[in-house]
Amino acid sequence: MEVKNKIILALDVLSMDQARELLDEISDYLDTIKIGYPLVLAEGLEAVTQVKEEYQCKIITDFKVADIPATNQKIANVTFQAGADALIVHGFVGPDSVASCVESAEKQGKEVFLLTEMSHPGASQFLQPVSMDIAHMGVEMGIQNYVGPSTRLDRLEKIRSIIGKDSFLISPGVGTQGGDPKDTLKFADALIIGRSIYLAPDPVESLESIIDSIEF
Ligand code: XMP
């Protein structure tokens, strides 16, 4: 997946009005937007369809899918049918659950991102002990796309070494959670950024300064 300016916007606003107000300002800088539960639970899955159509962008849905295979497949099917280009799936549920999402994606010409380790402090308790195993599982399954934390660069580097240089790795945790954009891009292909942009007094200025910090 190609990502313009190496930035994926986490569109965690709570209405389509807020989404449009933000995207009208900054959509020229972006071609990939991540939509998760906040906007979809507030506005319905149509939010995915609407943002994709109105802003002509790729949509990664962040539903951190983590159910049994049969249910995962239903979630994936409905999400892709709404227009999502990719779906983030938890790895800790095991290969059969992940495979059901991969199967759905392949049938519809879409993509799956495998979530290895999360970026928040609490991830160190339960997820961190198995996150490298999850990355290995992804490689064994032939998965191309991964999510890993910008808040622990030593861990991100390890994930990259497991998945290999040709896999596509996106990384949340930049800005508000403490991750540095340029350092993260030593290991990741693109950054996921939410609050540092949509809560900024001037989102365009914030985005431009992040882009400058990456380029220089
Ligand atoms: P902020 O506002 O912190 O938003 O820039 C980050 C976005 O990324 C999501 N997030 C994650 N998604 N694995 C994921 O798949 C993670 O480890 C992770 N950490 C944060 C978060 O929900 C928000 O949308």
Its domain, for residue 82, covers 4-213
The ipTM (two decimal places) reads: 0.96
Residue 93 confidence (pLDDT) above 80: yes
Q: What would the two tokens of residue 15 be?
A: 């209405």
What's the rounded mean pLDDT across residues 182-202? 97
10 lines ligand 1 (CB under 6 A): yes
Q: How far is the CA of 148 from the centre of ligand 1 (A)?
A: 10
Cα–Cα dist 123/206, whole Å: 28
Q: How far is the CA of 164 from the centre of ligand 1 (A)?
A: 23
The 10s digit of each residue's pLDDT in 110-168 is: 999 999 999 999 999 999 999 999 999 999 999 999 999 999 999 999 999 999 999 99
Residue 175 confidence (pLDDT) above 90: no
* Whether 6 is catalytic: no
> For residue 33, what is the enclosing H or E element?
strand 32-36
Q: How far is the CA of 28 from the centre of ligand 1 (A)?
A: 22
Q: Is the Cβ–Cβ distance between 130 and 100 less than 8 Å?
A: no
What's the rounded mean pLDDT across residues 17-25? 98
* Whether 67 is catalytic: yes
What's the rounded mean pLDDT across residues 200-212? 96
Please tell me which residue in 6, 52, 58, 62 is annotated as part of the active site.
62
Cα–Cα dist 52/110, whole Å: 14
What's the rounded mean pLDDT across residues 65-89? 98
Percent of the chain predicted with pLDDT > 70: 100
Q: What would the two tokens of residue 213 be?
A: 């910090």
Cα–Cα dist 170/188, whole Å: 6
CA-closest residue to ligand 1 atom 4: 194
Length of the chain: 216
* Whether 158 is catalytic: no
Per-residue confidence (pLDDT) for residue 97, from 0 to 100: 98
Q: What is the 3-state secondary structure (H, E, C) of 110-137?
A: CEEEEECCCCCCCHHHHCHHHHHHHHHH
pTM of the model: 0.97
Count of domains in the chain? Answer: 1
149 lines ligand 1 (CB under 6 A): yes
Listed in sequence order, the residues at least 6 apart from 124 whose beta carbon sits closer than 8 Å to its beta carbon are none
Cα–Cα dist 152/55, whole Å: 32
Residue 177: strand, helix, or coil: coil
68 annotated as a binding-site residue: yes
Residue 156: strand, helix, or coil: helix
Per-residue confidence (pLDDT) for residue 179, from 0 to 100: 86
70 annotated as a binding-site residue: yes
What's the rounded mean pLDDT across residues 44-69? 98
Residue 176 confidence (pLDDT) above 90: no
CATH number at residue 194: 3.20.20.70
Cα–Cα dist 53/208, whole Å: 25
Give the number of other CB atoms < 10 A from CB of residue 142. Answer: 7
Q: How far is the CA of 213 from the centre of ligand 1 (A)?
A: 20
Burial readout 42-81 (b: 16 or more C-beta within 10 A, e: otherwise): ebebebbebbbeebebbbbbbbebbbebeebbebbbebbe
Mean of pLDDT over the chain? 97
176 lines ligand 1 (CB under 6 A): yes
Q: How confident is the model at residue 171 (pLDDT cuts 50, 70, 90)?
A: very high
Per-residue confidence (pLDDT) for residue 107, from 0 to 100: 98
95 annotated as a binding-site residue: no
Q: Is the Cβ–Cβ distance between 10 and 172 less than 8 Å?
A: yes
Residue 216 confidence (pLDDT) above 70: no
Per-residue confidence (pLDDT) for residue 90, from 0 to 100: 98
49 annotated as a binding-site residue: no
What's the rounded mean pLDDT across residues 195-203? 97
